[in-house]
């Protein structure tokens, strides 16, 4: 029984480790041109909902699945843009879809942060339901730079 618990524990650690970003740690990417904006989309480490990630899209363009401690960088034309985190039950992400729609200025850098959280515990008779929250928002660069420093690359435009 003790050995079975140990095997279960090791398997659980392996599963959790496999659901976090594994690319290189954050380094700044090339500056945007005078016709585009640079967008960093990141997900700082959170203990809540570690085992999955949403699909990240800018407009209709899919970028990546945003895993815990991961980030992506994309270059997009200046103007209105929709950045979305979309649920994907096959990738263990059952949160609701969330988006932000900034009006991007050419030559500027933007940081968009995804933060899943625990909403609450709702008793349902003899069962309990855990609810979650999610927030996708533009973040002040000074705050974002300290948070994204521990994140690992998942996707980068050339």
Q: Which two tokens mark 46?
A: 């959170």
Q: CB neighbours of 64 closer than 8 A, spacing ≥ 6?
A: 55, 56, 70, 72, 154, 155
Apex 154 CA angle, 71 and 96, nearest 5: 65
Q: Which two tokens mark 114?
A: 């995804």
Check residue 52 and give its pLDDT. 81
In the 8-state DSSP scheme, what is residue 3?
A: H
45-55 pLDDT tens trace? 987 767 788 89
Q: What are phi and psi of 105, to 5 degrees?
A: -100, 140
> What is the longest distance spanned by two Cα atoms in the chain?
64
* Backbone region of residue 49 per phi and psi (left: phi > 0; alpha: psi in -120 to 50; beta: other values): left
93-136 pLDDT tens trace? 667 789 999 999 999 999 999 988 666 777 778 887 766 667 89
Q: How much is the pTM?
A: 0.79
């Amino acid at each position: 029984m003790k050995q079975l618990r140990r095997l279960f524990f090791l398997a659980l650690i392996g599963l959790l480790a496999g659901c976090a970003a594994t690319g290189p740690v954050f380094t700044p990417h090339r500056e945007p041109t005078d016709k585009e904006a640079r967008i960093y989309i990141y997900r700082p480490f959170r203990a809540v909902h570690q085992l999955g990630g949403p699909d990240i899209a800018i407009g209709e363009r899919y970028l990546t699945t945003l895993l815990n401690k991961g980030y992506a960088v994309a270059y997009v034309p200046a103007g209105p843009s929709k950045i979305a985190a979309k649920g994907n039950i096959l990738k263990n992400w059952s949160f609701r879809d969330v988006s932000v729609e900034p009006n991007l200025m050419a030559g500027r850098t933007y940081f968009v942060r995804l933060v899943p959280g625990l909403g609450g515990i709702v008793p349902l008779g003899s069962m309990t339901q855990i609810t979650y929250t999610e927030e996708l928002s533009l973040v002040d660069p000074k705050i974002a730079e300290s948070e994204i420093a521990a994140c690992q690359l998942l996707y980068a435009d050339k």
